[in-house]
Structure 1
């Protein structure tokens, strides 16, 4: 049962935690929009699609924001508790500060379980939907968005160049249009003094041109018979089908999944399958390169090649010394040369088989490492909820300052080192330099040791200098 002091300390966490959580979510959202705004602007996307894309990407922000908010709120709550001398009163009452940390640690353990579940089951689906939306958006062509003195090729078969655009009335001035030949339409060069854009529905756009000319290229039976036709007009209409420019949705389930769009169970099944492929490749390699214990070898001494190689100027050639012991056992030079050539050819075939085997295994091993990195990440980052309590509580007690600015500064240092280690660990693990476990958990164990010693420091008379100090 919690006492009043423990309940009060937990209540002091709620406000800072919620505040920091929503502030961090806002900052992560702004970062996302700044990185991807160029992919969304000029696509003519429905507002609901943009909202769905943002909501789908909020999932990964939650996994990052929860541990970060837990660190800041812990620093603030325990900093204020120590600043107001409540910690001294608790110690005077004979209560160990570890009893104050345990309820917060229990809540962080609950957050760890919840965030890990969210990271494993909800986040992959959100990532898959967001990835599918990004692909659909990338495949959508830009909208009909003309700019002054800039070539525009957003509509197939046409290139536009406009000198002046009146955005208030959709009036274009000094227009040049290059028309490519398509089906029954000839290649043409169109110029007009003025034009007006008018929408003829959601999928059709008309451009009414005034006072201009059309120069058409009319092909003959032979290329040399091509003729040019010039037509002047006072009013001319061009219609454009915008249906191909519209955004279209595809079913996310029709797209393949990556490590970040799969649960840990699904990734383990994939790694088991890839591991079986590795074993099969090894068995095939050993079968291809396996040699019998003895190789039958016989030289046809009646052949002209042999006779020329073993005799020279009526003198029989003698065996020569080589660095190969097996060749030195033979008493004819042709036999020695043949054996050496046979060995060299066998080694060349073995080398080719080995390089092929090495290439096939390498990308499979890399794929396994990438999947295991994602599996460990689903637990290592949520585990930071508990980790940051073990670090934040003693640091807050030692700083004796519950100011938001101080907590934010300390958190920035801790979080920067943490996520730098996570990012670098992921890169090294993906390349196979270190194991996926070490890449994702090394910083956690480092912080865990630091948090353990800091907690001992504030909860007992233990000092780290006692490990090597003199005890008289």
Structure 2
């Protein structure tokens, strides 16, 4: 846990270092953030502790004494099996109750710190709200306190929430003092744009606006509300990491219903735009000779609102009932319809993929809570028999084996998680695949340790290979003797 907390410190050091944040606040954030490390720490801890414990018992011939007294490996493990069962159950309740609450606290604390420290609230590459009426985007932050900004874009809201003022500058600087609630934003080498309100209705179509270039422009923002921030305030709870299983199940059902409605409406809209809904084609599967009294279909008799055609041949022959110039127009209209539909699909693709990924996130988060509990139970049956087989205790070989097995389990889980988030595999498989791979390994090692055998019986393998060669040699000699 200590090692993973230091990893978290290095991960967030850029946000806290040099920002005049009290160590108490940093310690509170790490305290809230530490439960999020348990899904990584606990499986490694169970694996390492079981290898070290049973390796030490085997190294000191404790298992030999137990077997001599008629105590089997299963009986020796029975007490720890009961313990690991209760630990797995407790892990599920921890993942279901403590981790969401800690995520809620850490996220809101980090957000409130960002409100209290404006330089920290500005994120590179995205628009960030600084104050109530200013939305700012910067390409890069640098300087001692990240107070120097490059390529600044500012949207300033007017009365009524109208976004009618845009300011762009090459450079910017945040200037503030400890005893002042006023933040100065000094912009250099930029342009100022503002949409003006027309004096009369007739002049609105002219879109009046003001444009100016400046070498230096200073903005003043009131930080009295920003600095009056309750760090323990929590008003955001919309992340899947902050929800329990019951809440995730409800959210998954709601998201599924909402997405199904959105996908269905979008599909119906695209279908109607193609015009296929107004096309009614009746095919006659029986090949009969055309009757003499069948009325001839004319292009003039076809209604554009209700397109009904009776065709006995291929539907491609519909266009042949029109004149040549009209055929060219219909082909151009069809091509334009296809191009517009393709553009609409490409524009909607990002939003649909985002919704699908959000749904997968929620399902994956719910199954991971169950998978974590089973992972602790299964990894115990991987580490305990492996320690009894290798007969080594301490922090040497057991540490190497534990880290190797854990990295295998961890990387498989990461790859499966990434694939399940983008929909390549179902979230159910993505959450359980790493645990499922460790399950047969645990069964195999437990059976080998119970039978007091090594992981790989090299002697048995060589004997089988040698018996195979001797059988082939004997068969060859018999064939020479009896041609």
Check whether TM > 0.5. Answer: yes
Question: How do residues 182-201 of structure 1 correspond to structure 2 at under 5 angstroms?
Answer: none
Name the CA distance, whole Å, in 2 between partners of 1:432 and 1:342.
36
1:111 and 2:80 are equivalent in the alignment: no
Give the corresponding residue for 1:372: 363
Residues 352-361 or 280-289, more deviating: 352-361
CA contact (8 A) 1:124 1:263 kept: yes
CA contact (8 A) 1:115 1:382 kept: yes
Alpha-carbon offset, residue 151 of structure 1: 8.7
In structure 2, which of residues 231, 236, 239 is the aligned counterpart of residue 255 of structure 1? 236
Question: How do residues 402-413 of structure 1 correspond to structure 2 at under 5 angstroms?
Answer: 402-413=393-404
Alpha-carbon offset, residue 352 of structure 1: 5.0
Structure label with greater radius of gyration: 1
Q: 1:293 to 1:48 in 2, by over 3 A?
A: same
Give the corresponding residue for 1:450: 441
Q: 1:68 to 1:464 in 2, by over 3 A?
A: closer
In structure 2, which of residues 23, 45, 49 is the aligned counterpart of residue 69 of structure 1? 45
CA contact (8 A) 2:32 2:102 kept: yes
Q: 1:418 to 1:330 in 2, by over 3 A?
A: same
* Secondary structure of 1:254's aligned partner: coil
Alpha-carbon offset, residue 56 of structure 1: 0.6
Residues 69-78 or 28-37, more deviating: 28-37
Give the corresponding residue for 1:315: none
Name the CA distance, whole Å, in 2 between partners of 1:373 and 1:344.
42
Q: 1:136 to 1:151 in 2, by over 3 A?
A: closer
Q: 1:153 to 1:40 in 2, by over 3 A?
A: closer
Deviations along 1:366-390, one digit per CA (max 9) or x if unpaired, are 1111112222222223322112211
Name the CA distance, whole Å, in 2 between partners of 1:355 and 1:154.
39
Give the corresponding residue for 2:245: 264
CA contact (8 A) 2:44 2:403 kept: no
Deviations along 1:65-106, one digit per CA (max 9) or x if unpaired, are 333222122112111221122222333344431222233222
Name the CA distance, whole Å, in 2 between partners of 1:35 and 1:346.
50
In structure 2, which of residues 238, 245, 266 is the aligned counterpart of residue 285 of structure 1? 266
Alpha-carbon offset, residue 445 of structure 1: 0.9
CA contact (8 A) 1:43 1:141 kept: no
In structure 1, which of residues 294, 314, 321 is the aligned counterpart of residue 280 of structure 2? 294
* Secondary structure of 1:101's aligned partner: helix
Alpha-carbon offset, residue 359 of structure 1: 4.4
TM-score by length of 2: 0.61
CA contact (8 A) 1:53 1:133 kept: yes
Question: How do residues 14-163 of structure 1 correspond to structure 2 at under 5 angstroms?
Answer: 25-139=1-115, 140-141=117-118
Alpha-carbon offset, residue 408 of structure 1: 1.5
Give the corresponding residue for 1:275: 256
Deviations along 1:116-167, one digit per CA (max 9) or x if unpaired, are 1111111111111111111222331469xxxxxx898969xxxxxxxxxxxx
Give the corresponding residue for 2:202: none
Give the corresponding residue for 2:451: 460
CA contact (8 A) 1:127 1:261 kept: yes
Name the CA distance, whole Å, in 1 between partners of 2:144 and 2:316.
75
Deviations along 1:170-229, one digit per CA (max 9) or x if unpaired, are xxxxxxxxxxxxxxxxxxxxxxxxxxxxx9xx8369xxxxxxxxxxxxxxxxxxxxxxxx
Name the CA distance, whole Å, in 2 between partners of 1:127 and 1:331.
67
* Secondary structure of 1:294's aligned partner: strand
CA contact (8 A) 1:63 1:382 kept: no
Name the CA distance, whole Å, in 1 between partners of 2:17 and 2:225.
17
* Secondary structure of 1:284's aligned partner: helix
Unaligned regions of 5+ residues in structure 2, if any?
A: 121-142, 149-176, 182-221, 283-296, 302-313, 472-483
Residues 41-50 or 430-439, more deviating: 41-50
CA contact (8 A) 1:97 1:459 kept: yes
What is the number of equivalent residue pairs in this alignment? 344
CA contact (8 A) 1:373 1:436 kept: yes
Name the CA distance, whole Å, in 2 between partners of 1:64 and 1:125.
18
CA contact (8 A) 2:299 2:321 kept: no
